[in-house]
């Protein structure tokens, strides 16, 4: 099987690992050692390591610069401030020069050994090879449950479904990366963008281990906002729901009004009103506020996109070839 451009996926290949880092000084040495162990005997793979320093406030940048002196494969993209992982990942994709590109976290929960399996599938002709987690035992119960329901909700309302239990860890051919770089969004939900561009896709399965060092930067609040970002980026169904909900509430209100009229005409009894009125007012007021909030999410996205600000700003790129 051949590459989409007509050249065989055999022989020498340049692999770029895109590694966003934020305050990961304690994780770098273990990660680089593991990478060295995995790829030191792979003569057909020319490795490039693109680290994106996302505004770290610890010694992450200094550690990377020290390692770069002894390892010319390291390229370091130093962003001007903390822009978030999605922006850092975008910066890494812009910088990576490899024929194939793999985003990977420095915490080693995505085992580098799996990349070799991904490359084998790429050599078969696939342009995207997903890393599919066969178990989320390393995650808390709350994170497992929330992730399950997020995927179910998102895939039910979005036109382009997300593959479940798949993160950013995947192999992408250069043609896929080039397609991603043409997308103009300022607010970027990368999992959705990865799925949206398509291309010929397969997956490899792996068991996700515990994080080796450090701790996750994603707390419950950030995960909640991340989920909202994903849903509002790829579906307008939340807006449409309020049209149907408004029609349903109006229908129920009309039916209740007719009931009061008929009751009064037949029995001559007024329905006691204060408690029922307060319930109705507060209920409808709550619905209106929620609807305004949903509308505000989309309006806010439109407002940010209309400014056309760049996704990230680079302070400096440290390239050992310069």
Is pLDDT at 51 greater than 90 in this prediction?
A: yes
Mean pLDDT of 286-311: 75
Report the range of poorest mean pLDDT among 47-61, 73-87, 122-136.
Answer: 122-136
**Alpha carbon distance 271, 16 (integer Å):** 73
Ordered by start, the domain boundaries in the chain are 13-233+311-318, 237-307
Closest CA to 16 of 197, 121, 170: 170
Which of residues 162 and 220 earns the better pLDDT score? 162
Question: Please, what is the average pLDDT of the chain?
Answer: 77
**Alpha carbon distance 12, 43 (integer Å):** 8
Is pLDDT at 241 greater than 80 in this prediction?
A: no
Domain 13-233+311-318 has CATH 3.90.550.10: yes
Mean pLDDT of 218-237: 60
Is pLDDT at 17 greater than 90 in this prediction?
A: yes
């Amino acid at each position: 099987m051949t590459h989409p451009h007509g050249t065989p996926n055999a022989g020498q290949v340049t692999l770029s690992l895109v590694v966003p880092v934020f305050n990961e000084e304690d994780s770098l040495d273990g990660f680089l050692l593991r990478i060295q162990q995995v790829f030191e005997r792979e003569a057909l793979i020319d490795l490039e390591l693109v680290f994106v320093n996302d505004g770290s406030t610890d010694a992450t940048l200094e550690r990377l610069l020290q390692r770069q002196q002894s390892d010319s494969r390291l390229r370091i993209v130093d962003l001007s401030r903390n822009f978030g992982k999605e922006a850092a990942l975008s910066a890494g994709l812009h910088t990576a020069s490899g024929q194939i590109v793999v985003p990977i976290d420095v915490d080693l929960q995505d085992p580098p050994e799996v990349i070799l399996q991904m490359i084998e599938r790429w050599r078969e002709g696939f342009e995207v090879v997903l890393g599919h987690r066969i178990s989320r035992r390393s995650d808390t119960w709350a994170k497992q449950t929330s992730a399950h329901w997020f995927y179910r909700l998102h895939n039910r309302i979005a036109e382009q479904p997300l593959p479940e239990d798949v993160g950013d860890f995947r192999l992408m051919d250069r043609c896929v990366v080039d397609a991603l770089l043409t997308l103009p969004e300022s607010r970027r939900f990368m999992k959705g963008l990865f799925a949206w561009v398509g291309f010929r896709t397969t997956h490899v399965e792996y068991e996700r281990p515990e994080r080796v060092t450090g701790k996750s930067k994603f707390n419950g609040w950030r995960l909640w906002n991340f989920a909202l970002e994903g849903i509002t980026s790829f579906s307008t169904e939340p807006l449409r729901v309020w049209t149907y909900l408004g029609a349903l509430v109006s229908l129920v209100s009309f039916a209740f009004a007719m009931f009061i009229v008929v009751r009064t005409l037949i029995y001559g009894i007024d329905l006691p009103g204060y408690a029922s009125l307060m319930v109705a007012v507060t209920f409808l007021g709550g619905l209106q506020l929620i609807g305004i909030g949903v509308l505000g999410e989309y309006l806010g996205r439109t407002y940010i996109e209309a400014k056309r600000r760049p996704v990230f700003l680079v302070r400096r790129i440290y390239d050992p070839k310069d």
